[in-house]
Amino acid sequence: MKPQTPQPVMRGLGRGGPGSLVGGPVEKPKHLKKTLLTILRYLKPYRVRLIIVILFAILSTIFTILTPRILGNMTNDIVDGYVAGQAYDSVIKSLPKGTSLPAGTTGKILLAEMPDSIKSKIPSAQQKTLATIDFSKGRPAIDFKAIMIIGLWLIGLYLMSAFFSFLQSWIMTTITQRLVYRLRKDISQKINRMPLSYFDHHPHGEVISRVTNDIDTIGQSLNQSATQIITSVATILGILIMMLTISWQLTLVAVVVLPLSLGFVSFIVKMSQKYFYGQQNSLGKLNGHVEEMLSGHAIMRAYNGEKKSIEKFSQTNQQLFTNGWKSQFISGLLMPIMQFIGNLGYVGVAIVGGLLAISGGLNIGDIQAFIQYMTQFTQPIMQTANVANVMQVIAAASERVFDFLEEPEESGEKNALKLRKKIKGSVVFNDVNFSYTPGVPIIKKFNATIKPGQSVAIVGPTGAGKTTIVNLLMRFYDIKKGEILVDDINTQEASRSDVRGLFGMVLQDTWLFNGTIAENITYGKANATKERMIRAAKAAHIDHFIRTLPQGYDTILGEEADNISAGEKQLLTIARAMLADAPMLILDEATSSVDTRTELLIQSAMDKLTVGRTSFIIAHRLSTIRSADLILVMRSGNIVEQGTHDELVQAGGFYYSLYNSQFNEIIS
């Protein structure tokens, strides 16, 4: 039975902790502005490159913006050439037969001298064109050579636009990938600075989701949206200027719909923001549950927990579905709404443009250019709306990443004392007090003195504080009151890395990582020679087994190291501890889940390992610690008895009752 008080534990050490909690309350989303400002701070080292990206985006946009006006001029040249020819023909046909025009005659002179009876037969649009004709040069026609030159200019502009677009995309991709690299690095370093209590109360899958899903979302979405928003803003401003050069009346019609568009964008962004955050949060919960079920799959199946697991998965998956559906549906409303508003603008431009063309205020090419600008004007607004959606995704992912990076860290270690190079191994606990939750003490006035080289067994019922003592000894947690001395040096005044370097560990729950057997053995001593590694393996009685494998020490262990037995895993961890050659040891009874022959090998290896070292043994089976130099009997966070096995049995106290209860269980 677990203790009532939540008791975080060192992973793999002891069996009294709460384990990983999946789920947790859904946090309220923070303000989008704050998150974006944090992202901008991360982008500060790349400000020069960002300026170049902005410059290239603006240049690409300028070249794109110029093309509709040039196309309009091309259209005007074609139309003017055609209309001028028609006007020329109309004038020639209206002259009496045999009449010739004198040299130097222009359309302007001709119109001034032309009788009203003839002039009235010429359409007003053609009269305007007629005024520009020099009749002495013959019939005007479309200048295809000039049009071809304009076409070449257009091709050049399109190529320049594409070139600058490629450059800014290439630079922005580099920036975002460097940002993602830095975020992953920061989280990796943050994990190593976090207190153990955080991981005891947060599911591993949640943390993994922030490193993978959330950061990937930031990288992919930011790369797309950053350049798009720059291009969109530059396009909107540039098009406004170009539209004003064509007609201020049409520009006014186009701009009238802008406040309406922005209002809808703002409204939908606010509605969808909480669902985007909920989507990322639900995804993290789902990852945590899947990771937990996969790591404990055999146990789950053994206890017929499939139904419960599926129910929990379905519940979290339903939350993910609901948040995902709502976020996508609400954000999906932007495009049709923007298209509808854009179409209203087209209607207004068509009506006003037609009236201006009839009155002669605009040419056909100008209207064509304006309609193209109108299309380009609504596109960046729609893109801005789409970017607003993407920014919600970025904000939701970024908030989770930044929340993790802002979590409280382990206290600083400035001016930490240096431990002696040679530690004898004496340990003193002086009035140690500790609690995981304020006001709920776990360890109370703990006092003990351990001499160098002693074998110390810590026994007691579940929840007595055995694992907590070891956690405090290795500074996985800092004590609230009192002191722990190693060779008269207060461990609170030394660095955590120095303190932890004093201990080798062999835990009941073995930990081996995906890599070669050699890499696993040398994990705590990476610079060890091959000869020293083999000596450690021989001392741990595992060398023979390793040499029977096809690749020997280069054999790759799977992610769960399930290609070797539990006993072989344990012998590998003992070899690792032997190679580390630490002055003190922490041993969680390691022989409870192996056969008798392997148990004897493990016990023999552990006997060799403890020679000359101060050893702390968390004992579950009291029959295995009879030879301990000192037994600390714990109950409710206090030492209630201490002494050798024989002394404690003779005393007939709490240890005696524990020992007899286990002995009677074995007999029965």
Q: Using the predicted structure, report yes or no on whether residue 22 has a pLDDT greater than 70.
A: no
For the record, the structure tokens of 75 come out as: 């259209």
pLDDT at 27: 39
Q: Using the predicted structure, report yes or no on whether residue 8 has a pLDDT greater than 80.
A: no
The mean-pLDDT minimum among 49-63, 76-90, 169-183, 223-237 falls in 76-90
pLDDT at 413: 66
For the record, the structure tokens of 308 come out as: 């419960």
Residue range 95-121, pLDDT digits in tens: 666 566 666 666 676 667 667 776 676
Q: Which of 419, 371, 396 is nearest to 284 (CA)?
A: 396
Q: Using the predicted structure, report yes or no on whether residue 14 has a pLDDT greater than 60.
A: no
Ramachandran angles phi, psi of 9, nearest 5°: -130, 160
Q: Which of 255, 260, 257, 247 is nearest to 354 (CA)?
A: 247
The position carrying tokens 């022989």 is 591
Fold for 32-74+146-405, please state it.
Answer: ABC transporter transmembrane region fold (1.20.1560)
How far is 205 from 292, CA to CA, in rounded Å?
Answer: 8
Our CA angle for 196, 198, 204, nearest 5°, is 100
Burial class (CB in 10 A: 0-12, 13-18, 19+), 303: exposed
Ramachandran angles phi, psi of 506, nearest 5°: -130, 110
The answer to whether the predicted template modeling score (pTM) of the entire model surpasses 0.75 is no
The mean-pLDDT minimum among 21-30, 65-74, 298-307, 411-420 falls in 21-30
Helix axes 596-610, 530-539, angle to 10 degrees: 120
Question: Which stretch of DSSP H or E encloses residue 567?
Answer: helix 566-580
b/e map of 436-473 (b: 16 or more CB within 10 Å)?
beeeebbbbebebebeebbbbbbbbeebbbbbbbbbbb
State how far the alpha carbon of 374 is from the alpha carbons of 64, 268, 364, 605, in Å: 14, 24, 15, 82
pLDDT at 448: 86
pLDDT at 16: 36
How far is 85 from 93, CA to CA, in rounded Å?
Answer: 12
The mean-pLDDT minimum among 212-216, 299-303, 428-432 falls in 299-303
The mean-pLDDT minimum among 210-224, 226-240, 294-308 falls in 294-308
For the record, the structure tokens of 151 come out as: 């076409």
pLDDT at 188: 84
Q: Using the predicted structure, report yes or no on whether residue 9 has a pLDDT greater than 60.
A: no
Residue range 501-514, pLDDT digits in tens: 888 888 777 778 88
Hey, what amino acid is at 428? V
| Coil, strand or helix at 559 | coil
How far is 585 from 452, CA to CA, in rounded Å?
Answer: 12
Q: How far apart are the first and last CA of the chain?
A: 22
One DSSP character per residue, 502-529 reads TEEEE-SS----SEEHHHHHTTT-TT--
Helix axes 306-332, 248-295, angle to 10 degrees: 170
Q: Which of 639, 636, 470, 481 is nearest to 5 (CA)?
A: 636
Residue range 116-173, pLDDT digits in tens: 776 676 666 666 667 676 666 667 767 778 778 878 888 888 888 888 888 888 888 8
Percent of the chain with pLDDT over 70: 81
User: In whole numbers, what is the pLDDT of the chain averaged over residues?
Assistant: 77
- Binned at pLDDT 50, 70 and 90, residue 4 comes out as very low
Residue range 257-281, pLDDT digits in tens: 777 777 777 777 777 777 877 887 7
Task: Please list the helix, strand and coil fractions of the chain in percent, rounded to the nearest 5, in that order.
Answer: 65, 10, 25
Q: Using the predicted structure, report yes or no on whether residue 20 has a pLDDT greater than 50.
A: no
How far is 106 from 117, CA to CA, in rounded Å?
Answer: 19
DSSP state of 213: I
Q: Where are the alpha helices (DSSP H) in 95-143?
A: 107-113, 116-119, 124-130
Q: Is-contact 160 154, C-beta < 8 A?
A: no
Q: Using the predicted structure, report yes or no on whether residue 542 has a pLDDT greater than 80.
A: yes
Q: Is-contact 132 84, C-beta < 8 A?
A: yes
How far is 581 from 611, CA to CA, in rounded Å?
Answer: 11
How many whole angstroms from its chain centre is CA 394? Answer: 9
pLDDT at 596: 66
How far is 634 from 446, CA to CA, in rounded Å?
Answer: 10
User: What CATH number does the domain located at 427-667 have?
Assistant: 3.40.50.300
Q: Show the 3-state SS of 342-356.
A: HHHHHHHHHHHHHHH
| Coil, strand or helix at 282 | helix
pLDDT at 560: 57
Q: Is-contact 222 394, C-beta < 8 A?
A: yes
How far is 51 from 38, CA to CA, in rounded Å?
Answer: 18
Percent of the chain with pLDDT over 90: 0
Residue range 482-503, pLDDT digits in tens: 899 988 888 888 888 888 888 8
pLDDT at 288: 76
Q: Using the predicted structure, report yes or no on whether residue 637 has a pLDDT greater than 70.
A: yes
Q: Using the predicted structure, report yes or no on whether residue 590 has a pLDDT greater than 80.
A: no
For the record, the structure tokens of 465 come out as: 């504080």
How far is 16 from 375, CA to CA, in rounded Å?
Answer: 67
pLDDT at 44: 85
How many CA atoms, within 13 angstroms, populate the side-chain half-sphere of residue 90? 23
If you average pLDDT over residues 381-396, what whole number do you get? 74
Q: Is-contact 87 130, C-beta < 8 A?
A: yes
pLDDT at 515: 84
DSSP state of 25: P
pLDDT at 589: 67
Q: Can you give the length of the chain in residues? A: 668
| Strongest mean pLDDT among 133-147, 177-191, 226-240, 346-360 | 177-191
If you average pLDDT over residues 21-34, what whole number do you get? 46
Residues of the chain with CATH 3.40.50.300: 427-667
pLDDT at 333: 78
Q: Which of 134, 128, 154 is nearest to 74 (CA)?
A: 154
How far is 334 from 165, CA to CA, in rounded Å?
Answer: 26
Residues of the chain with CATH 1.20.1560.10: 32-74+146-405
Burial class (CB in 10 A: 0-12, 13-18, 19+), 209: buried
How many CA atoms, within 13 angstroms, populate the side-chain half-sphere of residue 568? 14
Contacts for 353 with CB less than 8 Å, ≥ 6 apart: 247, 250, 362, 367, 370, 371
